[in-house]
């Protein structure tokens, strides 16, 4: 019994000494991973009932400064501005045929378009003025090489009041009445005078045969010559996109009353010969009625003959003797 009491006292003494010598450990901090995430609890919302469309309220009066800003940024559309815009976008009305056209045709009158200008212009589109007139009043244009310039034909509506036609090639070898609206011819051969119709594109280039005396008879020869020359022209229907220039440098028809313009660059293959060549032209309206004939003379001056150069003479050099 005494032994058990001694043993129990030693055990209590040892445990007390161990607790006094052992330092207390700091409390472990909770790990962030181990922490539970904070959850935000949202209360369920009640759905909002649809709102009926309301009538827009009239605009409130704004201050003068705000009104000035609004006018500067927003263009107000009024009935007057809409009518002006419609008037500007209105299509051009086609002219109506003159009621006396048929009676004038029966009387043999040329009721088609009137030539407003026919002549020549430089290669840069600046028109040239005639240098004189022939005995019958035909204007004369002078060129020194016969090519490198532009032939110009301008026309407007004539007695029929119908707009001038625009076609430059309409050909049927078996139908001489089938012609372009631009009927133009020369009384002398241009270039080599080739009779091939419209040989103005590669690989074949040729000239234009002349018709002398000038006439517009509906024969195969005349019709072929007209098509051969007219197919080398181009058609212009707007003054701002023409082939000629105004004095200020802008594109413009030569005559302000012109409705259609035809232009041809005279190339070397169909250049004018030396001397005087008469160009005759008329234009048909959209119904095929020809107008009066206009003409001009293209005068190509001959090349000036140069005086022959004097051949140098040999002068003998005197013999020099030594002293």
Which sequence spans correspond to the domains of the chain? 115-289
Q: Of 117 and 70, which is predicted with more confidence?
A: 117
pLDDT value at position 15?
65
pLDDT value at position 183?
98
Give the position of tokens 């609206």: 181
pLDDT value at position 280?
98
- For 184-212, how does the pLDDT look when each residue is reduced to its tens digit (9 = 90+)? 999 999 999 999 999 998 888 999 999 99
- H/E segment holding residue 140: strand 139-143
Q: Is the pLDDT reported for residue 220 higher than 70? A: yes
**Full-prediction pTM beyond 0.75?**
no
pLDDT value at position 54?
52
Interval 12-22 mean pLDDT:
62
Q: Is the pLDDT reported for residue 170 higher than 60? A: yes
């Amino acid at each position: 019994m005494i032994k058990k009491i001694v043993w129990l006292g030693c055990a209590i003494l040892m445990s007390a000494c161990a607790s006094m010598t052992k330092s207390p450990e700091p409390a472990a901090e909770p790990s962030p991973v181990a922490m539970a995430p904070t959850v935000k609890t949202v209360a369920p919302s009640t759905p909002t009932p649809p709102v009926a469309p309301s009538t827009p309220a009239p605009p409130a009066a704004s201050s003068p400064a705000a009104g000035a800003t609004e006018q500067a940024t927003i263009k107000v559309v009024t009935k007057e501005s809409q009518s002006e815009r419609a008037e500007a976008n209105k299509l051009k009305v086609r002219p109506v045929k003159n009621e006396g056209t048929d009676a004038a045709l029966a009387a043999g009158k040329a009721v088609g378009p009137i030539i407003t200008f026919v002549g020549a212009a430089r290669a840069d589109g600046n028109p040239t003025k005639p240098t004189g007139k022939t005995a019958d009043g035909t204007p004369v244009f002078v060129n020194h090489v016969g090519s490198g310039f532009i032939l110009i034909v301008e026309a407007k509506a004539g007695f029929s009041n119908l707009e001038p036609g625009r076609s430059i090639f309409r050909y049927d070898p078996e139908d001489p009445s089938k012609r372009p609206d631009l009927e133009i011819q020369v009384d002398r051969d241009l270039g080599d005078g080739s009779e091939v119709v419209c040989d103005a594109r590669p690989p074949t280039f040729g000239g234009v045969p002349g018709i002398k005396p000038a006439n517009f008879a509906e024969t195969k020869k005349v019709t072929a010559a007209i098509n051969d020359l007219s197919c080398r022209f181009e058609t212009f229907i707007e003054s701002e996109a023409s082939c000629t220039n105004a004095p200020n440098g802008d594109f413009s028809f030569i005559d302000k009353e012109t409705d259609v313009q035809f232009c041809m660059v005279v190339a070397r293959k169909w250049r004018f010969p030396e001397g005087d060549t008469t160009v005759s032209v008329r234009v048909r309206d959209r119904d095929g009625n020809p107008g009066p004939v206009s003409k001009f003379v293209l005068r190509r001056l001959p090349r000036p003959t140069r005086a022959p150069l004097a051949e140098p003479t040999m002068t003998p050099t005197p013999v020099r003797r030594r002293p």
